[in-house]
Amino acid sequence: MLLSDKYPFLTNYFEKGINNKLNNKGIPIAHSLLFWGRDLESQYIMAKEIARLLNCTGDHSDNCQCLNCRWIRENQHPAVLTISRLDNKPADDDTKTVISIKQSEMIKNSLMTTSEFYRVFIFCDKDDEGNIKGLNPQNFQEETANSMLKIIEEPNDRIMFIFLTSNKEDIISTIISRSQCFNISGGERDNFNFELIKNTFENYWNFERQDTFDIAQNLFELSKETTPTKLLEEIQNYMLATLKSNPNNTMFIEHIKEVETAKKQIELGMNTQNVFENLCLKLIK
């Protein structure tokens, strides 16, 4: 099954975001991503696909045969590295159970030189058969994670970090807070409908600033008919549908990201009404 069939929303989001980025129409995708959920293999494929789109010098199609695309598919690309307890260890590193401080140092050193490529570091675990597994506090320990924070924080247009895990709780909060998080669990949302928000939210880019709090209140009321997270997903579905018919309008990619932030705030237990208000303040100008 193609990744785009299994995860249409996310593949679309990254494809659009990356194409816009490469066309210098703004950089809507964060340079630290965290994928979480049960489907680790798909997370890894998605991470490699992002790396491929960023480095492709061909036509960006699924079966592009440019050198970068071929290298990345074959795990041979010098700038797209899987970082696990088994992969890409410096010669003097004899750790076998963890991603080590030495690996973190190696990455930091490599970033001091420039590269013609877009560098992508995919952090994950593997079992002895080579199956992709998730990061957890044992294989990606606090000290190592913290040693990465500075380079994750530093904005650099040509570097991306992608962390893979089953449970978000297994990743140290300082990484979570610096990353854009996406659920890849094998059960992507059931559909792409936006029936519930349609009447309230259609053509929201024409809304008047003065109505922001009323609109937030309406969304808050609507969220009681489902869950705040599901309502926010409907808003994203609507934005994605609109983006599809206006592929060059990067505003929608930015907005999808804002809604993702709102989902994160709900997960963290922030007051629902405040979350909707903050979101509407960002969306309605």
In the complex with Zn ion, which residue's Cβ is closer, 17 or 37?
Answer: 17
SS3 of the chain: helix, strand, coil, percent, to 5: 50, 10, 40
Q: What DSSP string runs through 184-227?
A: -SS---S----HHHHHHHTTGGG--GGGHHHHHHHHHHHHTTS-
Based on the shown chain and the rule CB under 5 A, indicate whether residue 58 belongs to the binding site for Zn ion.
yes
Based on the shown chain and the rule CB under 5 A, indicate whether residue 29 belongs to the binding site for Zn ion.
no
CA distance 23 to 3: 24
Candidate segments 55-63, 155-163, 208-216, 235-243, binder of Zn ion by CB under 5 A:
55-63
Task: Tell the smallest beta-carbon distance from residue 114 to Zn ion (Å).
Answer: 22
Length of the chain: 285
Task: Tell the smallest beta-carbon distance from residue 18 to Zn ion (Å).
Answer: 12
Based on the shown chain and the rule CB under 5 A, indicate whether residue 164 belongs to the binding site for Zn ion.
no
Binds Zn ion by CB under 5 A, chosen from 10, 33, 69, 176: 69
Task: Record the tokens describing residue 146, joined without a space.
Answer: 């913290």
Based on the shown chain and the rule CB under 5 A, indicate whether residue 50 belongs to the binding site for Zn ion.
no
In the complex with Zn ion, which residue's Cβ is closer, 58 or 78?
Answer: 58
Instruction: Identify the CA nearest to 101 among candidates 134, 56, 148.
Output: 148
Task: Tell the smallest beta-carbon distance from residue 113 to Zn ion (Å).
Answer: 24
Contact 273, 216 (CB under 8 A): yes
How many amino acids of this chain bind Zn ion (CB under 5 A)? 5
Task: Tell the smallest beta-carbon distance from residue 66 to Zn ion (Å).
Answer: 3
Candidate segments 52-60, 123-131, 159-167, 222-230, binder of Zn ion by CB under 5 A:
52-60
CA distance 157 to 76: 22
Based on the shown chain and the rule CB under 5 A, indicate whether residue 66 belongs to the binding site for Zn ion.
yes
CA distance 74 to 67: 11
Based on the shown chain and the rule CB under 5 A, indicate whether residue 67 belongs to the binding site for Zn ion.
no
Q: Which residue type, as a one-letter code, is found at position 74?
A: E
| Interface contacts to Zn ion, rule CB under 5 A | 56, 58, 64, 66, 69
